[in-house]
Chains A and B, each alone.
Chain A
Amino acid sequence: MLDWILFPWHYAFMMRALIGAILVGTLCAIVGTYVVLRGMAFFGDALAHAILPGVAVGYLVGGGARQPLFWWALLAAVLSSIGIGAIQKSVKIREDTAIGIIFAGMFALGIALISSVQNYTNDLSHFLFGDVLGISQSDLVRISIFGGLILLSVFVFYKEFLVISFDPILATTMRLPMKMLDYLLMVLIAITIVVSLQTVGIALMVAMLITPAATAYLLTKRLPVMMLAAAVIAIISGIIGLYVSYYVNVASGAAIVLSATLIFLLVWGIKLIIRTVNASSPR
């Protein structure tokens, strides 16, 4: 049994994958708390897809190197969030429509760019579905640095983000710089998505942001506890997912997301049962 538990971690790539999954899981869970509370799930999903052309340009320019990929992806993410905001403000279009237009358009541009390279399907699938087993030492360093900066910002602006999310009118009467804080939060979400890309990929990114946070939302009544619980759930999902991926031989990103989804369904089911029991028992 002990062997079964310890065996996967003899491989350096599995160890790196584990550290990567823990770092990314924690980061996404904490930032994702705001995504869930502010109802930005669609925005998060769209942003993840909209960075594909950035990834594609980085890939074509850098010839497979990771560093340019990161910066191009970040550029695409920032441009997309600004584009969504600009369209929505200038014409009478609902926010979700504006997000949808930009998201699909950018995603198509990314696919078009990558498809210009022969035998592109393999690389495209890495971008779409992630490659946590391929995480390198320098990837971990980059995730740590940017992740640390993001978490530091979330900590420093904790009370401001709390109040703009709970009560925007109160935030306005207290003269908080609303626009700046809104954009800052969007940029933090964008950077989170870009640094986390390698773990689960574009297509499943939104799950890392919302599933652990939503599970934590069911369990807790205070924001700091929700953030902590979300991080713990994300880490557990990462570990379970890597085991499943190793022993059952399924794609690691999908395994991590499935673990998180199962934990959500479990918590939801238990809550439902408790509520039904409480409601039917005489008071």
Chain B
Amino acid sequence: MNFLKGSNYLIHKFPEHEVGTPTLKISDLAYRFGNVDALVDVSFEVCEGERMAVVGPNGAGKSTLFKIIAGVLKPTLGLVQIYGHEPKGHICIAYVPQRNLVDWSFPVDVADVVMMGRISKLGPIRWPSAKDWEIAHHSLDLVGMQGYASRQISELSGGQQQRVFIAQALTQEAHLILMDEPLTGLDPSTQQDIFRILDVLQEKKVTVLVAMHDLKLASERFDRVLLLNKRLIGVGLPDEVIVPEKLSQAYGSHFRMVPTREGTFMIEDTCCEEGDHAHA
């Protein structure tokens, strides 16, 4: 019985980062849910400060991969290492959930949600100090939400909700942030706001993995792209990964190629245009 799983929190001791190890190293990872293989034989590495897009059709295992990295799910096979250690002891990983999975009517305001990221640093019994509140408000500044601290979270727009959770990850002082479809359902100008924040994160050497559907944004705005459909189809520079052979491997018939004026093609993931915008 792993009743005391998470006792790191109670004794308030967390593993140190090993110098010279990659931020994230995944080796031969597999995850089975019942009789279904959600992930098979996935291996890759991510360096510090890198911004990586994780793309693939619905059900490709993007959320599962993130939850395994975050230590929420235990892999069936394989190894996940964060700065040289398994993830379960780390508090430097933040998982920003899909917006439609959050209970927005919960009675908390923006400052409450941001301060939640601080809990592991505080440890049991201690209450936030002036310094903790300073960190929380600074995080809100960084995402451009300083005027919203006392707003109830249901009063925010989709982009603002996303930014509040990024501020929470900053307050957590996370070195690795996993964002599950942060751009879905946002209009282009709000998406650009999110990218400006991602640029700030990159300057601060924060490593960011973003699960997404928009292949154009993935190829234009990310250092590397990871293409997933239960298996790892490709990982590398956008030009190496977002190519027709690999895309048809990942998406089957669910994608289309559109000729553009450069004579190349823009590829759209057409499987998810409906239903992913549930949260208004």
Binding site for B on A (CB under 8 A): 37, 156-157, 159-160, 162-163, 165-167, 169-170, 172-180, 217, 220-223, 225-226
Contact = CB atoms under 8 A, between A and B. Distances in A.
Contacts of A178: 5-6
A177 B116 contact: no
Contact of B119 (A37, A174, A177, A225): A174
Interface residues of B, number: 41
Interface centre among B6, B8, B94 (most CB of A within 10 A): B6
A162 B103 CA distance: 13
B130 to A, nearest CB: 16
B119 A159 contact: yes
A162 B6 contact: no
Nearest to A158: B127
Across the A-B interface, give the 7 residue pairs with the lowest CB-CB distance, nearest first.
A174-B120, A177-B6, A221-B152, A172-B72, A173-B70, A175-B9, A175-B8
A56 to B, nearest CB: 31
A222 B108 contact: yes
Interface string B81-124: 00000001111011101000011001111001100110110101
A201 to B, nearest CB: 30
Contacts of A166: 103, 106, 108, 113, 116
A196 to B, nearest CB: 23
A204 B37 CA distance: 47
A160 B107 contact: no
B133 interface: no
B67 interface: yes
Contact of A176 (B67, B117, B120): B120
A227 to B, nearest CB: 9
Contacts of A175: 6, 8-9, 14, 71, 88-91, 120
Contacts of B90: 175
B3 interface: yes
Contacts of A170: 95, 116-117, 168
17 contacts: A160-B124, A162-B108, A162-B112, A162-B116, A166-B116, A169-B67, A169-B72, A172-B6, A173-B72, A175-B6, A177-B4, A177-B6, A178-B5, A179-B2, A221-B152, A222-B107, A223-B112
